[in-house]
Chain A
Amino acid sequence: MKHMTESTWIRWLLICLALLFLGLFLILPLVAVFMEAFKQGTEMFVAAIIDEETFAAVKLTLLVALVSVPLNVTFGVAAAWAIAKFSFRGKNVLLTLIDLPFAVSPVIAGLIFVLLFGSQGIAYPWLDAHDIKIIFAVPGIILATTFVTFPFVARELIPIMEAQGKDEEEAAVSLGASGWKTFFRVTLPNVKWGLLYGVILCNARAMGEFGAVSVVSGHIRGMTNTLPLHVEILYNEYQFAAAFSVATLLAALALVTLILKSVIEWKTQRKEELS
């Protein structure tokens, strides 16, 4: 099909444009982050990484991800199952609601929680009476992160589950399998790659979230600072080398995520080729 192929120079032009764009907006900044981080030598880099406050930020970031990712996995799988395998009233409303966190700006998401639980908030008198702190504390950060990363797993699973239909589940049930056994032996294995993909994206966003967390955290060093917030503070204090060193941790996370994502994509593709 000769007429379908562009001439060689157009092909090269398009490839070069794409590569140039990638280099300018992705590779160059990434290289810059690492360059800046090591500018004042490896010692400075190591010092910034093993700093106590950095360590606290890493710990908090991991804690937040550790709580919000499983929460969203549970919610996402349940929502996707309900939406894909059953028909009920309000299904479209639920679908729209799942997308809500993507539609709202993260800053607004943070503000919602401040308005609810902050010192001027509706729930504040009750929380204060019971000595529960949410805003400017870890629970607020977890809430905001969970809200922002809410759609990743569900959005990843719904189309897969819908495409697979409910024949296999019906077959399992007709063979005598209970609801749990049907879910764990039939439904879950069928979506495992999609689920893992969703989890990775969800995790990356949970660790990297800035806007919503910034509003609710209060930036208390060593207490409510996550990694992205810590980078900002260091940068604002003109500790450029330290800021970039900590940023390399986030960049490394992004790279690991990308690699995992490609591995999973490659695996699923191979599976599809087999079937």
Chain B
Amino acid sequence: MSIEVVNITKSYKNFTALHNVSLRIPEGELVALLGPSGSGKTTLLRLIAGLEQPEEGAILFHGEDNTNRDVRERQVGFVFQHYALFRHMTIFDNIAFGLTVRNRKTRPTKQEIKERVHSLLRLVQLDGLAHRYPSQLSGGQRQRVALARALAVEPKFLLLDEPFGALDTKVRQELRRWLRHLHEKLGLTILFVTHDQEEAMELADQVVVMNEGRVEQVGSPEEIYNHPANPFVYSFLGRVNLFRGRVRDGKVRLGEAEFETESENLRGGEWPAVGYMRPHDVEIALSAQDSQFVQAQVQHISLLGPIIRLDLKWLDTGELFEAELTRQRFCELDPQEKSTVYVKLNNLSFYVETPQEKTPLPAFIPIQASF
């Protein structure tokens, strides 16, 4: 079932959690709401579930208005960050809860409930634990019970709030794979909240990047990584190097290096520009391979395991930046601290603050740049 959020605004006592947010989640997709804490992603999830009420805007399920509908009638499966399992009930009773609280007319028979619960226990690979209590399970097991409990009422879709937030790295990776698998098996629309960009990239078909109550970008993991819409998305999706410069007549100068822009509307005039670049796009050589290489000094070397991170200083401008190398490339080069190397800045994206008279808000126009 598709979910549509139309112009939602929600504010609490002294801050606005969501500003005029609109979003469409197509049926059957696994979608991540990604953003830092306080970006409004959990609020949006709770609004869709009906646990909060918006001031303005509408929420549609499959085209049908659900804005004023009670949580109980929305038939949404919600999994809470800390699972919210009923601590005084066994795992069986927890999963059966949504069925046993129905009124007599719609409640399945005891036998049917028993069968449903056991098939769900098999689905979440916890058969045999039906008579345990939540406190006797591990974090990962509790998470799966919470999922089974939400699935028991046959919801229209699943909403997960930071589903793996409270688990250790290894369990988290296992559960991610398992959730992906579950999604393929059930074909259910799943929307989950996360602040972990790696989790969003690995799991989701679509990623919704949020910041300060606004949707910054919606796209596939590849799209948002390769073509970030603005500096926020760029820097939120991974480590980033910043280079400050100015655009003049369609050209950006950073020290000795000059970058050509393709954007026509930046000709004539001069504006501050910031260049964004991923550390793994820094190419390192011991000698200048062509005219596009500049000199940099190695400040510090961090051995992180599969990759090696170098802290570099651009000799020309004094700017500090990072480079990431594979272990193999690092061994080939064998750079020493305080030694000088040649670097080439590949895939540098510039974001320019356009003049005030054109747009009231500072908008950023990415421009492709090359030497």
Residues on A close to B: CB < 8 A? 167-168, 170-178, 181, 185-186, 189-190, 274-275
Q: Is the CB of A173 within 8 A of B72?
A: yes
Residues of A within 8 A of B85 (CB): 168, 171
A171 CB contact (under 8 Å) in B80, B102, B152 = B80
Per CB-CB distance, the 7 closest pairs between chain A and chain B, nearest first, are: A275-B135, A175-B98, A167-B84, A171-B84, A177-B101, A174-B78, A189-B88
Q: Is the CB of B135 within 8 A of A175?
A: no
Closest chain B CB from A233 CB (angstroms): 48
B97 CB contact (under 8 Å) in A170, A175, A274, A275 = A175
Chain A residue nearest to B135 in the complex (CB): A275
Known: A175-B98, A190-B88; 7 extra A-B contacts, CB below 8 A, are A171-B86, A173-B51, A173-B72, A174-B51, A174-B150, A175-B149, A275-B87
Q: Is the CB of B86 within 8 A of A177?
A: no
Interface residues in B72-98 (C-beta closer than 8 Å to A) = 72, 75-78, 80, 82, 84-88, 97-98
Closest chain A CB from B351 CB (angstroms): 41
Residues of A within 8 A of B86 (CB): 168, 171-172, 185-186
Give Cα A189 to B72, complex, Å: 21
Closest chain B CB from A25 CB (angstroms): 39
Residues of A within 8 A of B102 (CB): 176
Q: Given A175-B153, A177-B72, A275-B87, does the pair A167, B101 have CB atoms closer than 8 Å?
A: no
Residues of B within 8 A of A178 (CB): 72, 101
Give Cα A170 to B49, complex, Å: 10
Task: Judge if B71 is at the interface, Cβ distance under 8 Å.
Answer: yes
Closest chain B CB from A200 CB (angstroms): 20
Chain B residue nearest to A185 in the complex (CB): B101
Residues of B within 8 A of A171 (CB): 78, 80, 84-86, 149
Residues of A within 8 A of B97 (CB): 172, 175, 177, 185
Give Cα A189 to B94, complex, Å: 14
Residues of A within 8 A of B77 (CB): 174
Residues of B within 8 A of A168 (CB): 84-87
Task: Judge if B133 is at the interface, Cβ distance under 8 Å.
Answer: yes
Residues of B within 8 A of A175 (CB): 97-98, 101, 149-150, 152-153
Closest chain A CB from B120 CB (angstroms): 13
- Count: A-B pairs, CB below 8 Å: 66
Q: Is the CB of A167 within 8 A of B87?
A: no
Give Cα A174 to B46, complex, Å: 10
Residues of B within 8 A of A185 (CB): 86, 97, 101
Chain A residue nearest to B136 in the complex (CB): A274
Q: Given A167-B82, A168-B86, A174-B76, does the pair A275, B133 have CB atoms closer than 8 Å?
A: yes
Q: Is the CB of A174 within 8 A of B71?
A: yes
Give Cα A131 to B40, complex, Å: 63
Give Cα A174 to B80, complex, Å: 11
Residues of B within 8 A of A275 (CB): 87, 133-135
Closest chain A CB from B159 CB (angstroms): 9
Closest chain B CB from A255 CB (angstroms): 30
Choose among A170, A171, A189 the residue with the greatest number of B CB atoms under 10 Å from its CB: A171
Of the A-B pairs whose beta carbons lie under 8 Å apart in the complex, a sample of 10, sorted by A's number, is A168-B85, A170-B84, A171-B84, A175-B149, A176-B98, A176-B153, A177-B97, A186-B86, A189-B88, A275-B134
Q: Is the CB of B72 within 8 A of A176?
A: yes
Give Cα A173 to B76, complex, Å: 11
Give Cα A186 to B94, complex, Å: 11
Give Cα A172 to B85, complex, Å: 9
Choose among B97, B133, B149 the residue with the greatest number of A CB atoms under 10 Å from its CB: B97
Q: Is the CB of A176 within 8 A of B80?
A: no
Give Cα A208 to B37, complex, Å: 53
Closest chain B CB from A149 CB (angstroms): 28
Closest chain A CB from B132 CB (angstroms): 11
Give Cα A171 to B71, complex, Å: 10
Give Cα A167 to B85, complex, Å: 9
Q: Is the CB of B87 within 8 A of A190?
A: yes
A173 CB contact (under 8 Å) in B71, B75, B136 = B71
Q: Is the CB of A181 within 8 A of B101?
A: yes
Give Cα A168 to B142, complex, Å: 14
Q: Is the CB of B133 within 8 A of A170?
A: no
Interface residues in B105-145 (C-beta closer than 8 Å to A) = 133-136
Give Cα A185 to B72, complex, Å: 16
Chain B residue nearest to A167 in the complex (CB): B84
Give Cα A275 to B88, complex, Å: 10
Chain B residue nearest to A188 in the complex (CB): B88
Give Cα A264 to B76, complex, Å: 39
Chain A residue nearest to B13 in the complex (CB): A87
Residues of B within 8 A of A176 (CB): 72, 75, 98, 101-102, 153
